[in-house]
Amino acid sequence: MTVKSTSRARKKAAPGVTDSLRTGKDAPAELVQLLTPEGERVEHPDFPLTVTPDELRSLYRDLVLVRRFDAEATALQRQGELGLWASLLGQEAAQVGSGRAMREKDYAFPTYREHGVAWCRGVDPLNLLGMFRGVNHGGWDPNEKNFHLYTIVIGSQTLHATGYAMGITKDGAEDAVIAYFGDGASSQGDVNEAFTFASVYNAPVVFFCQNNQWAISEPTTNQTKIPLYRRAAGFGFPGVRVDGNDVLACLAVTRWALDHARTGSGPVLIEAFTYRMGAHTTSDDPTRYRATEETEAWKAKDPISRLKAHLEREGLADEEFFAAVDAESETLGLRVREGVRSMPDPDPTLIFDHVYAEPHALVAEERAEYVAYAQSFEGGE
Amino acid sequence: MSKLTMSKAINEGLRNCLETDPKTLIMGEDVGKLGGVFRVTDGLQKDFGEDRVIDTPLAESGIVGTAIGLALRGYRPIVEIQFDGFVYPAFDQIVTQLAKMHARALGHIKLPVTIRIPYAGGIGAVEHHSESHEAYFAHTAGLRVVTPSNPDDAYWMLRQSVESDDPVIFLEPKARYWDKAELSAAPALDLHAAKVVRPGTDLTLLAYGPMVKTCLEAATAAEQDGHRIEVVDLRSLSPIDFATLEESVKRTGRAVVVHEAPVFMGMGAELAARLTEKCFYHLEAPVLRVGGYHAPYPPSRVEEQFLPDLDRVLDAVDRALAF
Ligand SMILES: Cc1ncc(C[n+]2csc(CCOP(=O)(O)OP(=O)(O)O)c2C)c(N)n1
């Protein structure tokens, strides 16, 4: 049984689970890992990966910059510049690894925490802050970077991703889609419906579950009795559990899964086993439900320090490199800080803009009423 | 052209959509070989293939959610919900996703999804097969909601809905599926225009979907008592063509709104409030409402008592005229 599909033609839905290797309890190695927490490179028979020193350094750079952006946003929330922030701290490797595995024409459907994926897609980080600042509900053009809007209703986007993937099949294109969601979301009907549709229509979609162990205060054990990646078997497609703090493993597994999908072999579920180091959002208080020892234990698996250790151990980067990344991260921080502070409030007529694509009589009428009312005040426009 | 039933007219409309735009798709449960439980999609899969007329898994949220994804990829899905009461599992996708995505993207993306729902009662069905949930959808900004009352409108309004770049909830009055009429060669009206279907001078009956026919019958009956009743078919519930409604009510001075849905918090409440606001000095009587009770849609043996009929409409007409 090979895990690499070489078929270029899109196949009809497979009659059964063809890829039993990673579907059920017989999966050989439960957690795919290519880089140990100590920064040692290990091989996995099913997921070979060759990365050049340049690539390693640029992965490191992405991890650091994404973490810096996230820290800046958390600080901005504390300073009252953002109403809320959902931090990705601890999940950088899962996001950068999977994000970097995508090709340009692949499409990502995120939750509200995929800042690292957005970064890899080339979305301006300031775009992500609009909804948290309250100036819009998303705002960017999803088709510009093939990165859909953040979705807050848990699990909804997995269906949009699947439908989009069904469209790719109809177009006869060789692209793939990746749908992000959390371990909590795995309980939602929509996610399970997405699995069914994707499986039945053999849609080229990779379901990327970041199991960060918590759904606000609820542990994964409140959502499932079995490891999440094994869910895939019941729907008839492969599931893989990857070390979500290992950027190389996330890159290799996602690259494989996207290829599997784009070459006509159907969906894949990846469970990136990771940890949310911070609060769920800036409104959350994890000390109420989570033991410090648990968080400390995960700190030892930090995605950035392990890649740094690897770069140092192999002599692939010197002080100059690390200093340059740090400097770049300072610049990014400054740009984000200044960008948010100078982000203008929208004109209130935004309320009426884009409710519909075509004119709608009621919206037009209420807009006119609003404008007249606003103008009736002195100094009103 | 010969006469067609409403279900056949919609079938013709769907066929035309599939023929003219290769990006249109039909999705739903049993829409393929069976042709839908009302046979509205009869023969379409045979002629356009399983890739265009798609029998979906039994998952309403999945149907609407994947239709959204297909629309994002440039397709124009026409979704069939099997019966009114089964749209609720998809309600989340419709109101939190479909209705809002265009606005959230500041207009960068469009969601041309048409959701066809056979709705309302009067066919002796079991539970969850007779409901009128139009107010939920009309209440949600971002959705357009329309409902034809006759085969000609059904054909043209369907085509206009599918051509719209906005999501449209297309409510099909199932009790009128078997009514027959000729189709006109071109659409007479804009999708969102109301229509005076019977002119009169003494009172305006405002109705849509299944109740238009009932109101026309009531107007004919009232004529024997010497009352000249105007009947206006709303056709569109979001937006509402208030100009046509107000113009009619200002002329007749009296209005009765008739719908099958429960009166409480329903379309009638909106219409009564609006007409009172806009036509206050022209009104000779309060705007009255006739509709369902604040109760679950009843077992079919008593649905005749729940649904507005000729007598209940005429009773309201009498009350309005007595002011
Ligand atoms: C349908 C729905 N229910 C509840 C919420 C409130 N909520 C926001 S995030 C969240 C937890 C989600 O956990 P998980 O899916 O594991 O993702 P994570 O935030 O941990 O990445 C909840 C309950 C929501 N946004 N949507």
Looking at beta carbons, which residues of chain B come within 8 Å of A168? Answer: 73
Q: Which of A145, A221, A148 minimizes the C-alpha distance to A186?
A: A221
**The pLDDT of residue A149:** 98
* β-bridge pairing B53-55 and B195-198: unpaired
> What is the distance, to the nearest Å, from the Cα of residue A230 to the centroid of all Cα atoms in its chain?
20
| Distance separating alpha carbons of residues B132 and B212, to the nearest angstrom | 15
Model confidence band, residue A15 (pLDDT cutoffs 50, 70, 90): very low
| Distance separating alpha carbons of residues B167 and A87, to the nearest angstrom | 34
Q: What is the mean pLDDT of residues A322-343?
A: 98
As to burial, measured by CB atoms within 10 angstroms (0-12 exposed, 13-18 middle, 19+ buried), residue B126 is exposed
Q: Residue B182 has which token pair?
A: 């000729």
Q: Using the predicted structure, report yes or no on whether residue A379 has a pLDDT greater than 80.
A: no
Q: Express each pLDDT in A140-161 by its tens digit.
A: 999 999 999 999 999 999 999 9
Looking at beta carbons, which residues of chain A come within 8 Å of B166? Answer: 356-358, 360
Share of chain A above pLDDT 90, in %: 91
> Which residues contact residue A108 at a Cβ distance below 8 angstroms, ignoring those fewer than 6 apart?
A99, A102, A114, A117, A121, A146, A147, A148, A177, A178, A180
**The pLDDT of residue B1:** 66
User: Given CB atoms, is A12 within the 8 Å cutoff of chain B?
Assistant: no
Q: Ligand 1, from A98, A187, A216: best to mutate by most atoms within 8 Å of Cβ?
A: A216
Per the prediction, chain B carries an average pLDDT of 97
| Residues of B recognised as catalytic | 129
| Distance separating alpha carbons of residues A199 and A190, to the nearest angstrom | 14
Instruction: Give A36's strand partners.
Output: none
**The pLDDT of residue A19:** 38
Q: Using the predicted structure, report yes or no on whether residue A18 has a pLDDT greater than 60.
A: no
Bond prior to A28 in cis (omega within 30° of 0) = no
CB–CB of A159 and B62 under 8 A?
A: yes
Cβ-contact A195, A238 below 8 angstroms: no
Q: Express each pLDDT in A79-110 by its tens digit.
A: 999 999 999 999 999 999 999 999 999 999 99
Nearest CA in chain A to B57: A197
CB–CB of A139 and B240 under 8 A?
A: no
CB–CB of B59 and A193 under 8 A?
A: yes
What is the residue whose two structure tokens read 């929330």? A77
User: Given CB atoms, is B226 within the 8 Å cutoff of chain A?
Assistant: no
Q: Express each pLDDT in B15-36 by its tens digit.
A: 999 999 999 999 999 999 999 9
> Which residues contact residue B225 at a Cβ distance below 8 angstroms, ignoring those fewer than 6 apart?
none
Residue B166 Cα, gap to closest chain A Cα (Å)? 6
Cβ-contact B112, B166 below 8 angstroms: yes
Q: Using the predicted structure, report yes or no on whether residue B284 has a pLDDT greater than 50.
A: yes
Q: Would you state the torsion angle of the CA atoms of residues A353, A358, A359, A363, taken in this order, to the nearest 10 degrees?
A: -40
Instruction: Give the other-Cβ count within 10 Å of B76's Cβ.
Output: 22
| Distance separating alpha carbons of residues B77 and A276, to the nearest angstrom | 38
Instruction: Give A241's strand partners.
Output: A271
Model confidence band, residue A7 (pLDDT cutoffs 50, 70, 90): very low
CB–CB of B92 and A162 under 8 A?
A: no
End-to-end CA distance of chain B: 46
Task: Provide residues with CB under 6 Å of ligand 1.
Answer: A 113, 152-154, 182-185, 210, 212, 214-216, 276, 280
Q: Express each pLDDT in B121-130 by its tens digit.
A: 999 999 999 9
| Distance separating alpha carbons of residues A32 and A42, to the nearest angstrom | 10
Nearest protein CA to atom 20 of ligand 1, as residue: A215
A138 → closest Cβ in B73, B104, B141: B104
- Interface size A-B, in CB pairs within 8 Å, comes to 152
Q: Residue B210 has which token pair?
A: 């299944």
Cβ-contact B223, B217 below 8 angstroms: no
Model confidence band, residue A380 (pLDDT cutoffs 50, 70, 90): low
What backbone torsions phi and psi does residue B198 show, to the nearest 5 degrees? -155, 120
Q: Which of B78, B2, B75, B84 minimizes the C-alpha distance to B37?
A: B84
Span from the CA of A337 to the centroid of ligand 1 (angstroms): 27
Q: Using the predicted structure, report yes or no on whether residue B295 has a pLDDT greater than 70.
A: yes
**The pLDDT of residue A259:** 98
Return the beta strands (E) in chain A as ranges. Answer: 107-109, 177-182, 205-211, 214-215, 218-219, 239-243, 268-273
Instruction: Give A219's strand partners.
Output: A214
Q: Express each pLDDT in B60-115 by its tens digit.
A: 999 999 999 999 999 999 999 999 999 999 999 999 999 999 999 999 999 999 99
Q: Which of B72, B164, B64, B75 minimizes the C-alpha distance to B117?
A: B64
**Ramachandran assignment for A122, one of left (phi > 0), alpha (psi -120 to 50 degrees), beta (any other):** left
**The pLDDT of residue A30:** 86
Q: Express each pLDDT in B42-69 by its tens digit.
A: 999 999 999 999 999 999 999 999 999 9
Nearest CA in chain A to B138: A362
Per the prediction, chain A carries an average pLDDT of 92
